[in-house]
Structure 1
Amino acid sequence: MRFPKKLSPLLVTILLLSSMSGFAQEIQFGVRPYYLIDAMKEGPLKSKLRSCTGMTPRRSLFSIAHRGAPLEFPEHTVQSNKAAALMGAGIFECDVTFTKDKQLVCRHAQNDLQGTTNILLTNLKEKCSKPFIPANSGEPAVAECRTTDIILGEFKTLRGKMDGFNKKAKDIQSYMAGTPSWRTELYSEAGGTLLTHQESIALFKQFGGKFTPELKEPVVPMPYLGFTQEQYAQALINDYKNAGISPNDVFPQSFNLNDVMYWIQNEPEFGKQAIYLDGRYEQKGFNAAEPEMLKPTMQELYAKGVRYIAPPIWVLLATNSIGEIIPSAYAKAAKDAGLNIITWSLERDGPMNKGGGWYHQSIKSAIYSDGQIYEVLDVLAQQVGVKGVFSDWPATVTYYANCLGLE
């Protein structure tokens, strides 16, 4: 499909999305990579990235869509993932949880429907585990709606919204108007189309992409109505088997090491690419400068059969005595143990002019502008040696990977 030269990149994106009853093969960077490059300080990296402005965009496995493209589209929706595909993401994520009738669906958490869908504006709000309670006397507004509160057919009637809620809200409409200022409501008015896990597989296959499903921790006690954690882990794999997907194209993830070990031991063809999402940064006393204190150690993880590890960005980075961003001791230990490293999630902090947020906490003193997103990405790619990067706006990573010749 070709468009008149005078159309803006934004309008081109809208036209492409609306035309995708199947999937348009065009890949585009859009304006964001160029905005970030312009914001960089002068130097070799900026010069290199500038030199690639005329290149033809190509899909990259280094570019992993984090819940689609949730910087501008409701996460885990058809629309969000189509946007990510247009940006050249090579690997797509479905965070997997289950409904009341034990059907697998794509949601970041089992209990996030109140902040990521329109459930509170529907009759299904009566089924929520915790009904909406407005803010009062300094107490925040609360609501909790779980996928296990509803059956699959009910889940499919919901529409996705931009992730967020207003803790100070006095009514439901205000509660739902909590989108962070750096995201946009421009594409979310009609809501996004939610996905089952099986539907996500079919969609990502249509894109020609690979798959990285994450088995989310249930908030309901397990076993759930006879559904064990092991059956849950197996059900995820079964969906790929039933769809005829090669294990080589699937990178199952979990923060629960027991899930990873289940796949390694019971589904070894899938387990060899299973990703251990390392959440041990939440443990008291965690220090990325002392990876030898972690249990199991990096070497022990490798001995157990783990080959991929994925901590958040800040765990992999530190600063040296002159304020330069460098790999952390954790990053070096993982690499020395032979583990492949993947990280998350670029561009989830919003504007970087105040040192970034949670995802850049270990290098906050070195961050002062959006242009440093590419500095961070360059250290991750060239010095840490990560194999892929999750991003809320995949075109940023795709552009870098294309320019630097990464797969």
Structure 2
Amino acid sequence: MISACNGSDSAPKSDVSDSTFADKSDQPKPTNTKLQDLGPIVSPVPEVDPRAVAPQAVQAGTRPYFLVDSMSDGPLKTKLKSCADGPFKRTDFAIAHRGAPLEFPEHTKEGYEAAIRMGAGILECDVTLTKDNQLVCRHQECDLALTTDVLSNLELAAKCSIPFTPAQSTKKASVSCCTYDFTLDEFLTLKGKLAGSNPDATKPTEYLRNVSDKRTGLYSRGTVMSHAQSIALFDAAGVKMTPELKDVRLAPGSTRENFIKQLIKEYRDAKIDPSRVYIQAKKLDDVLYLAANERDFAKGASYLWPLPSSVTDDRLADLYKQGVRTISSAWENLTDIDKTTKKPIPSKAALAARKARFELVGWTMENDYWLTKNGDDVYEMLDVLAKDVGVKGVFFDWVGTTSYYASCMGLK
């Protein structure tokens, strides 16, 4: 039942063909290596503080009230105001995008715990690989210089694929630090920070300092997590899980199939019921592999697809016939703006997908783009996605906003 997102969530999506998502890896063609041939898969699972994740009253926080108060008078505002005293509940409609990255570093224990407290029913771990072939939660393989403190550790910084090069009068600073540059043990020593960089930096520590003026650095030094650690945390909290199979650099001799098997193995090792797992994939072949080989996990899998305005009924019918059941797409692809009222309405593509029996998931709201908008923009869009498009859930960077709405509207 779920969806995911990419790094440019706020940018309008264009009409993109399936070939856009083809694997662009320049790795040599893999041999038929089996998963067990790649060595042990060992990801230390931390002790989980039961106080941090035990079932508790959902705390929607102050932001929903701020947004509702800023809305224009009308039926939607009246309804949302009537729910000010709660109670608020956990719902699958509220999907935490990488945790709570509006304020907390993404893919960190602290961000996940914040999302759990705000009522997220489903939480996301974007899955990439380390140097020793271990699964970790990170949106992109090579974003560590943007999302962690790796450049503050000289020993680790020296291992980055592209070492830090200071800015010059005619050139911006450059660096690239990837999960595959480090072992799992090394990765777990890093601390998460809000995504950002200073392109004019002349020193590595200066490169780390830039944070959007719409966000805060108060919750930096977050605890980064392996995929297995995220499973343990989410399981203890009783929430569902939506890992995304990212584009990864595979170990020599490995295959994409090995990567998928490794991810599923960690859920099985943790004895997680497949009904609690919603695997996301941008590669159609990944979804089709699940449909053919992992039917229990395929039931909730979603195809991350732009759902172009030019989509045809035949294309949708073909996807359904192949085994795709859920399409996860950006809110821009699922909605349009009425030329007369200037209000959001369902897109023709979204309505066509629903008619073709697909379930839909939307992403991502409450990122930087939405911070320039008011309560009308946020809650009117969410209302259309929920009631008119009929999405199963929406990814949010601050899931308390969703929990308030979902609880008020009686969504599950």
TM-score interval w.r.t. the shorter chain? Answer: 0.7 to 0.9
Q: Percent identical across equivalent pairs?
A: 46
2:255 to 217, 224, 228: 228
**Residues 297-339 of structure 1, C-alpha deviation per residue, up to 9 Å, x if partnerless?**
2211111111111111111111122122111111111111111
- Which is worse superposed, 175-184 or 19-28? 19-28
Aligned to 1:240: 267
1:250 to 250, 272, 277: 277
Gaps (5+ residues) in structure 2?
1-48
Residue 302 of structure 1 aligns to which amino acid in structure 2? Y
SS at 1:396 equivalent: helix
Asked if the contact 1:310/1:342 (under 8 Å) is kept, the reply is yes
Measure, in 2, the Cα distance between the counterparts of 1:298 and 1:193: 41
Aligned to 1:204: 234
2:385 to 377, 380, 388: 380
2:309 to 279, 289, 303: 289
Residue 229 of structure 2 aligns to which amino acid in structure 1? E
CA RMSD of aligned residues (A): 1.8
Residue 241 of structure 2 aligns to which amino acid in structure 1? F
Aligned to 2:3: none
Measure, in 1, the Cα distance between the counterparts of 2:87 and 2:170: 54
Aligned to 1:341: 360
Asked if the contact 1:182/1:350 (under 8 Å) is kept, the reply is no
Measure, in 1, the Cα distance between the counterparts of 2:241 and 2:52: 21
Asked if the contact 1:38/1:371 (under 8 Å) is kept, the reply is no
Measure, in 2, the Cα distance between the counterparts of 1:395 and 1:68: 11
SS at 2:202 equivalent: coil
Structure 2 length normalisation: TM-score? 0.85
2:337 to 319, 322, 336: 319
Where do residues 5-404 of structure 1 align in structure 2 (5 Å cutoff)?
20=51, 23=54, 25-122=56-153, 123-188=155-220, 191-218=221-248, 220=249, 222=250, 224-279=251-306, 288-292=308-312, 297-322=315-340, 323-353=342-372, 369-404=374-409
Measure, in 2, the Cα distance between the counterparts of 1:387 and 1:80: 23
**Residues 7-55 of structure 1, C-alpha deviation per residue, up to 9 Å, x if partnerless?**
xxxxxxxxxxx99455362321110000000111111000000000111
Aligned length: 363
Q: Measure how far apart 1:96 and its partner are.
A: 0.4
Q: Measure how far apart 1:352 and its partner are.
A: 4.7
Gaps (5+ residues) in structure 1?
1-17, 281-287, 354-367
Q: Measure how far apart 1:214 and its partner are.
A: 0.4
Measure, in 2, the Cα distance between the counterparts of 1:131 and 1:43: 55
Residue 295 of structure 2 aligns to which amino acid in structure 1? P
SS at 1:202 equivalent: helix
Structure 1 length normalisation: TM-score? 0.86
- Which is worse superposed, 315-324 or 344-353? 344-353
Asked if the contact 1:351/1:370 (under 8 Å) is kept, the reply is no
Q: Measure how far apart 1:138 and its partner are.
A: 3.4
Asked if the contact 2:53/2:116 (under 8 Å) is kept, the reply is no
